[in-house]
A and B are shown apart, each in its own frame.
Chain A
Amino acid sequence: MAEPETKNMTMIEAIRDAMDVTMSQNSDVLVFGEDVGYFGGVFRCTAGLQEKHGLHRCFDTPISEGGIVGIAIGMAANGLRPVAEIQFADYIYPAYDQIASEAARLRYRSNGDFTCPLTIRTPVGGGIYGGTTHSQSPEALFTHIAGLKTVIPSNPYDAKGMLIEAIEDNDPVLFLEPKRLYNGPFNGDPHAPAKSWKGHPLGEVPTGHYGIELGKARKITEGDDVTILTYGTMVWVAEATAAKVGISADILDLRSLLPLDLDAIVESVKKTGRCLIMHEATRTSGFGAELSALVTEHCFYHLEAPIERVTGWDTPYPHAQEWAYFPGQKRVANALKRIMKDV
């Protein structure tokens, strides 16, 4: 087969393209949410889809997150493949009941008779001065739910392939989109000029249909000194900081939190003997705690230094002090130095 043609895309364009491709191939795929149809989404992820696929396939909903997800679950149980957008992850809490008790549980409690092929897309994370209610990273609230997949791509290439995979998955998938990465990779320095995805290898996106298996991590850099386990916006902070500190880091972009690529994690930590875990979400009971426990359980006798976590503080996401909250290069560099101090 000929190599598929590629095109430079932002994450927004890649996400839109994933929906466009699946909608074109399968009339059961419907896209909807607040301001998704006519307006094209606050971040423009659905721009043009209504025009191209029709009002009946890409449409606006009232501001009713619980209802949006609930109706989507009913649609999914009755033969469709709904793709619901929750405008910000911070708005998803009214739908938590539906996600946790209905979407994630239909298969189990019906003994496989019913399924819920539902995708919920929602932007997460800070970096745009959104304050407490437009910046949160609630992934750990969802990785705690059996029966639900939670994924978070960090670049256009993965975003498209994983979203296609999510839409075609026969189980519910929560698809988290790090909004600070929509238009370019972000190294954690808010004062640096914004970079676009142009010229980035992962901004080169095949134009056709392709899937990326959910549950597989991506190796960002190959290294021997330390393993960095991270995802979302922090992937690019990790890469930039490791380069600056001059450390040989094995950086794993986990991409999919549940299912999790435990094999890749264990293999890497056994190789390096050191582990740094990074996420933007608050620290206590964050997904990093789960990663830390897993590394301890599976790699304890290979560890040569305590596991470190660099995360957001245990505070609401601040507005003015956004960059004091955000786990930027300085905190990452200090953690790396602590991990390596006995070398």
Chain B
Amino acid sequence: MAGKTKTTSKKKAAPKALKTTQDELLQFYKDMLLIRRFEEKAGQLYGMGLIAGFCHLYIGQEAVVTGIRAAMKEGDQMITGYRDHGHMLACDMEARGVMAELTGREGGYSRGKGGSMHMFSTEKKFYGGHGIVGAQVPLGAGLGFANKYLDNGAVSIAFFGDGASNQGQVYETFNMAKLWDLPVVFVIENNQYAMGTSVERSSAETELFKRGISFEIEGVQVDGMNVLAVRDAAKKAIDHARAGKGPMILEMKTYRYRGHSMSDPAKYRTRDEVNDIRSARDPIDAVKARLEKEGWADTDALKAIDKDIKAVVNDSADFAQSSPEPDPSELYTDVLLEA
């Protein structure tokens, strides 16, 4: 598990052995597997017609949010776009509440008002869940602004994709975030396709970590399929932001195995491309291999983990189907503060 890292910094990063411990790696394995199994289940429920509308699965990208989360401290905040289920699980939001939001039930985090793309938790410091490509990025900087103003020591992490990295408001945000040295980390989850348009077909500069150069924002390209590389890069960037040095950009080179959404015919890439990455770079397989190599978990232990996770996911799916539909009166609640 040697993560490849490039940086816009003049300083050459020394090659580093990616250290970990049994406990940490087992936790990463559990966290990533939960996301994958949850997403597989969501895909199933979608296929059964139990989830309506949009549903963007995170399968393949699990190492990104898991590694970032590991570097965050209590009070730090996360905000992302519409491929958000994994982020919520990483923030310790309950699988039940997320799945029930997907099925549009009363037990969902937004009581069915939000759906797949729009869920929040003040308690878990998860600021959504945003369906407009790139629109969450200035909000993330605003969270950071408030942290700085309130001097609460927190850092906000604003996730967005390679597609969003071509939105104008992202650059307005970069400028202000550096101008005011806001404690925010921009994480570009470069899964290489903005819906069906590859980075090569949409971006003049395809190395997205360089997108902050003209704002004096240091950028780092990270192997987003390697949870330990993500963790290390995130730790540096978050420490940098927390120390008052302003934002950093982390470009996570990752890959989504499934379509952009559930209705994606995936004509823009070959089956071989997906299969090759899946077999050579899968983030969960890599962790599993290291666990086995280090002798930290045997087949039985891994099976037991899988079983536990399946139980959590199945329970969430049961809950998401048994939770009642929202009351008709909910249509008009929470538009504005009720008197």
Contacts and interface: CB of A to CB of B under 8 A. Distances in A.
Q: Do A and B actually bind?
A: yes
B20 to A, nearest CB: 33
A107 B169 contact: no
A292 to B, nearest CB: 24
Name the interface size band of chain B: 35 or more
Given A111-B109, A114-B127, A149-B336, A78 B135 contact: no
Interface in B109-136: 109-111, 113-114, 118-122, 127-132, 135-136
Contacts of B122: 113-114
Interface in A222-264: 259
Contacts of A73: 138-139, 142
Interface stretch (A45-53, A60-68, A330-338): A60-68
Contacts of A64: 169, 172, 175-176
Nearest to B130: A102
Given A70-B138, A71-B176, A170 B109 contact: no
Nearest to A57: B149
Given A78-B77, A102-B130, A110-B110, A71 B142 contact: yes
Contact of A108 (B141, B149, B334): B334
A8 interface: no
Given A56-B149, A71-B141, A112 B135 contact: no
Nearest to A171: B336
A285 B237 CA distance: 49
A73 to B, nearest CB: 5
A261 to B, nearest CB: 14
A109 B110 contact: yes
Q: Which of B127, B156, B334, B336 has most chain A Cβ within 10 Å?
A: B336
Given A70-B173, A77-B142, A102-B130, A62 B179 contact: yes
Nearest to A76: B142
Contacts of B175: 62, 64, 67
A71 B118 contact: no
B193 interface: no
B138 A79 contact: no
A102 B132 contact: yes
B67 to A, nearest CB: 24
B146 interface: yes
Nearest to B118: A109
A101 B110 contact: no
Contacts of B172: 62, 64, 66-68, 70
Interface in A71-125: 71-80, 82, 94, 97-98, 101-102, 105-115
A109 B147 CA distance: 23
B333 interface: yes
B49 interface: no
Contacts of B137: 70
A98 B334 contact: no
B335 interface: yes
A294 interface: no
A285 to B, nearest CB: 22
Nearest to B136: A102
A78 B147 contact: yes
A51 to B, nearest CB: 19
Nearest to B146: A78
Contacts of A76: 142
A70 B169 contact: yes
Nearest to B141: A71
Interface string B134-174: 01111111111111011000001000000000001100110
A166 interface: no
B334 A112 contact: yes
Contacts of A97: 132, 135, 169
B121 A113 contact: yes
Nearest to A66: B169
Contacts of A78: 77, 127, 142-143, 145-147, 150, 156
Given A62-B172, A111-B113, A70 B335 contact: no
A171 B337 contact: yes
A74 B140 contact: yes
Contact of A77 (B113, B127, B135, B168): B127
Given A62-B172, A78-B146, A111 B179 contact: no
22 contacts: A62-B172, A66-B138, A66-B169, A67-B169, A67-B173, A67-B175, A70-B173, A71-B139, A71-B142, A73-B139, A73-B142, A78-B147, A80-B149, A80-B150, A101-B132, A109-B129, A110-B113, A110-B128, A113-B110, A113-B120, A146-B335, A147-B335
Cβ-closest 5 pairs across A and B: A74-B142, A70-B138, A67-B172, A64-B172, A78-B146
Given A67-B141, A74-B146, A77-B142, 15 more contacts: A67-B173, A67-B175, A70-B173, A74-B143, A74-B156, A75-B149, A78-B127, A82-B142, A106-B128, A109-B129, A110-B118, A110-B120, A111-B110, A111-B111, A171-B337
Interface of A: 30, 56, 61-62, 64, 66-80, 82, 94, 97-98, 101-102, 105-115, 146-147, 149, 169-171, 259
